[in-house]
Chains A and B, each alone.
Chain A
Amino acid sequence: MILDAKLAILADAAKYDASCASSGAAPRNSVGGRGIGSTEGSGICHSYAPDGRCISLLKILLTNFCLYDCLYCVNRVSSNVQRARFTVQEVVNLTLDFYRRNCIEGLFLSSGIIQSPDYTMELVVEVARVLREEHDFRGYIHLKTIPDASPELMQRAGCYADRLSINVELPTPQGLAALAPEKDGAAIRRSMARMAGHIADARQSRREQQGAAQVVSLPGSTRRAAAPHFAPGGQSTQMIVGADAADDRTILATSAQLYGGFRLRRVYYSAFSPIPDASRALPLAAPPMVREHRLYQADWLMRFYGFAHEEIVPARQGGMLSLDMDPKLAWAIAHPERFPVNLNTAPREMLLRVPGLGVGSVDRLLASRRVRRVRHADLSGLRVPLKKVLPFVETVDHRPGRLLDSGHLQAFFATPARPVPLAGAPAAPAPPVQASLFG
């Protein structure tokens, strides 16, 4: 099979993984090296596909042959999809070629499971080793690890990769057992815990070494080699939304547990997408994509806005986030007793709960009010969505009036009901991107 045909199959097979981040790596460049590549903190999105997703990494499978039978997956053993397999060298060459063209930040390599988890993981690690050791490649590498692979292989993967991930796939162990019979939820979590341990250890020893370097500067003291990095970009995971019956409350509870327990950098939510040759056991239609978007917004609230997961989805809503409005606005409307928030006196935690105010705006408000009183006109200067913010705040020259008392807020913000967009319908309004989740 020619390379072009393999690439078509193995890129197609990888596109259901939502992650494409290339951030979090330790800053480095290729000055003084033998090869090419750099990472400077935040990643770069080199292109966007018509599905609105960023293309930052060459995201491919080493092979889409797979022994497992995860029902939601296009590569499962029982799927009739066409199969292909790259050689290690082919992946290395593609990565370097795309990188030289400045099309990518690096490689995100995953694989179907062939022969055995260890055999597969070994090949995946070999790609990273060749890139790093033979080509001195200093771009980004994200490896998808296989939970049943041996701890030694995982350890080696972490030495070459900037980021590691294992997908938990489904929000609950029951869901996983039903849809991915060969996968073991407990084993996945054990792997995550082990990697979290390695990541923390490596950080700790690098910190200690840096500390020691500053304190001990005895003449003639031997310089030790730098403590090794282990996946400095941390680990991430992905959950499929809408392939089983798990509600948003359950999904967010799982995320909170993953963030807390394993210090994950990101949990990705991937609305179950219709795949060619779908199993009969699955819903054929996709969940509305806006549900995925609301989950990302809720996730943001947990990570940056001080919300606890159980606050975000009230039990009485049937455990689901509102599709009509973002979760922060929904929370504010459900808690009129907490508003209006006085922009000149309220603590930071409360400013963060105002719909339409992002972290950056809040910090600027806090700085300004130390030297003077914040006014209505300042909000325009901040370019925040006034319609959203004004009903919830008061300033020297603005009070929200009766809107808050009268319970009219719900009506004020209600958007006219629109039909749930069909998957792929071009008319579907595009939800805002994550970077500007709350403006």
Chain B
Amino acid sequence: MDDATTTATDAVTTVTLGHATDWAGFRAAARTLLQGGRPPQQVQWFTAADAAGDLFAEGSGEAGPAAADDAARAPGASFSPDAPPPASPPRVPREFLQRCERVVLHRDPGRFALMYRLLWRLAHEPGLRHDPLDPDRLRLQHLDRAVKRDMHKMRAFVRFRPVPEPDGGTLHIAWFEPDHWITEANAPFFARRFTQMRWAILTPDASVHWDGQRLHQGPAAQRSDAPPPDAGEALWLTYYRNIFNPARLKLDMMRKEMPTRYWKNLPEATLIGELAQTAQARSTRMVEAPGTVPRRRIAAGPGRAAARPAE
């Protein structure tokens, strides 16, 4: 289903990939172009979503306005390679391929051109694979890091809320807004972790649903599709409020690891303002309070302490 259209004139070959994360389409097109000796400066890369907005691109009429919404899934027109697939594809390091597969998920429109340029150079410059400081390789690595970080932050900041289902079971639903096209690629992680739960993660690009047996992919969603806070969430807020040490306020450090753009979907973030504002006063009070005289409320004999649980 990962299809690409390729149109070639003498000067420029234009590839339109089926959708934003069309890895298979990219691989097939890149392999053909490479075998056909098409240098990177003569290739232009688009996805169906770009094409929808580009009046001069082939096939823009077919893609239609829906392509922008469904870019992550919509298959484009069928792939018609210029040349038959080569018998022996160029050999590249496995690590490079894995990296490219992640970089496809990045929203940078230049990612396909960068990857093809690197493929071309790997095939023509033997030293390149040993030079991690090459600017193109550094750029690829930089994009890869951004995708990995986004995937990691999604694993960290998705917050499920339980919703009862008609059959008496519980569905856990989360709303999340990723930076890149990572929703589907990240779903298996949640399936491995929450295997015995039913859950759904909704994002503006796509939704994924685990029914306890298998993953289902669904359409883009809206925040209002996800449930509001439930009563149980209050315990998490209590925990967050009390694990914070007001004597160590370090908001910059917090923002560095938990950037403010995530706050709107993190229930605990509503507490940050209040906690930060009162921290100084609470801390000063602790420092200025004179050392107290111990009142031995619990005698140090065995058994006494346990006899007074705060029930």
Determine the residue in chain A with the shortest Cβ distance to B282.
A424
> What residues of B have a CB within 8 angstroms of the CB of A78 in the complex?
294-296
CB distance from A401 to the nearest CB of B (A): 24
- With contact pairs A44-B152, A50-B275, A276-B286 given, residues A424 and B159 touching in the complex (Cβ less than 8 Å): no
Residue A101 lies at the interface, judged by CB distance under 8 Å to chain B: yes
Among A35-43, A192-200, A295-303, A386-394, the stretch in contact with B: A35-43
- Complex contact B283–A15 (CB within 8 A): no
Q: Are A371 and B131 in contact (CB under 8 A)?
A: yes
Which one of B251, B256, B286 has the highest number of Cβ atoms from chain A below 10 Å of its Cβ? B286
Name, among A98, A275, A430, the residue most crowded by chain B CB atoms within 10 Å (CB to CB).
Answer: A430
| C-alpha gap A365/B138 in the complex (Å) | 12
From B130, B279, B283, contact of A371 by CB (8 A): B130
Set of chain B residues within 8 Å of A286, measured between Cβ atoms: 247, 287
Is the pair A49, B131 in contact by a Cβ cutoff of 8 Å? no
Choose from A34, A45, A67, A284 the contact partner of B302 (Cβ within 8 Å): A67
Give the shortest distance, in Å, between A37 (CB) and chain B (any CB): 7
- Distance between Cα atoms of A367 and B258 in the complex (Å): 33
CB of A116 within 8 A of CB of B305, answer no
A396 in the interface (beta carbon within 8 A) = no
B258 in contact with A48 (CB, 8 Å)? yes
Residue in A closest to B194 when the chains form the complex, CB atoms: A36
* A47-B275 Cα distance, complex, nearest whole Å: 15
Given contacts A45-B257, A430-B253, contact A103 B195 (CB under 8 A): no
- Contacting A372 at CB < 8 Å: which of B127, B159, B247? B127
Interface residues of B (CB under 8 A from A): 127, 130-133, 135, 138, 152, 155-162, 172, 174, 189, 191-197, 232-236, 238-254, 256-258, 266, 268, 272, 275-276, 279-280, 283-284, 286-292, 294-298, 300, 302-303, 305-306, 308-311
Interface residues of A (CB under 8 A from B): 1, 3-4, 6-9, 11-12, 14-16, 29-38, 40, 44-55, 58-60, 63, 65-67, 69, 77-80, 82-85, 94, 97-98, 100-103, 112, 114-116, 119, 271, 273-282, 284-286, 289, 364-365, 367-368, 370-372, 374, 378, 381-382, 423-426, 428-431, 433
Known interface pairs A7-B242, A51-B245, A51-B246; 11 further A-B residue pairs with C-beta atoms within 8 A, sorted by A's residue number: A7-B235, A9-B310, A11-B239, A15-B244, A38-B189, A49-B243, A78-B296, A98-B235, A101-B160, A284-B291, A424-B248
